[in-house]
Amino acid sequence: MKNLLLLSFISLLMFSCETTPKEIEKGPAPGYLLTADGTKIDARDADPSNLAIWEKYMEAHNNKDFETIASMNHDSIVLNLWDGRNLMGNDTHIDVLKGYIEEFNPTWNTFFSYTMHVDGQVGDWVITGHEIKQTENGEEKSLSDVLDVFIVDQKIRRIIVYRKNN
């Protein structure tokens, strides 16, 4: 009887210590990126810590903290702006941003953010929108931006801006 109990106990221990993780089926992706050649690449939820990175980045904009913004930018950041301009590099971005803030005194109010990962890409995207209040020719103006923000190694690598006047 003792041997039977000992054998049962050893068996239970061996089977309860399975170390191989079971593969989780992902199911269909909730989104996709369509490439220029028409290929669909799956997009899925990404690391929520990306949202905290973006929140800190926008807080630095509202505080006019150019040192923090520059430290959060990738050295070779690319900005594709709503007006067709493409800004290349951290120094260029900071110079243009300083001029914009000096001229219009904007404040940003984020109203949504979502982070996603496109299969096969190194970083993650944050899709976000904010309202901008700024002063133009002495009048307060309201704008809405939607941005695609690419984050690599916790640094802002690319920003694509779409703008609407309110």
Alpha-carbon span 56 to 71, nearest angstrom: 11
Residue 97 DSSP label = H
Weakest-pLDDT range from 7-16, 34-43, 83-92, 135-144: 7-16
Spell out the residues 6+ positions from residue 142 whose beta carbon is closer than 8 angstroms to its own: 131, 132, 133, 165, 166
| Residue 11, domain member (yes or no) | no
Any domain includes 19: no
Q: Give tens-digit pLDDT for 48-95.
A: 999 999 999 999 999 999 999 999 999 999 999 999 999 999 999 999
Residue 104 lies in a domain: yes
Task: Give me the CATH number covering residue 138.
Answer: 3.10.450.50
**Residue 3 located in a structural domain:** no
pLDDT tens by residue, 104-134: 999 999 999 999 999 999 999 999 999 999 9
The pLDDT assigned to 144 comes to 97
Q: Is residue 29 part of a domain?
A: no
The rounded mean pLDDT for the chain is 88
Q: What is the pLDDT of residue 6?
A: 47
In sequence order, the β-bridge partners of residue 143 are: 132, 165
Q: Is residue 17 part of a domain?
A: no
What's the total number of domains in the chain? 1
Where b means 16+ CB within 10 Å and e means fewer, 11-21 reads eeeeeeeeeee
Residue 40 lies in a domain: no
Percent of the chain scoring above 70 in pLDDT: 84
38 part of a folded domain: no
Tell me the residue range of the domain where 117 lies.
45-165
In terms of pTM, does the model score above 0.85? no
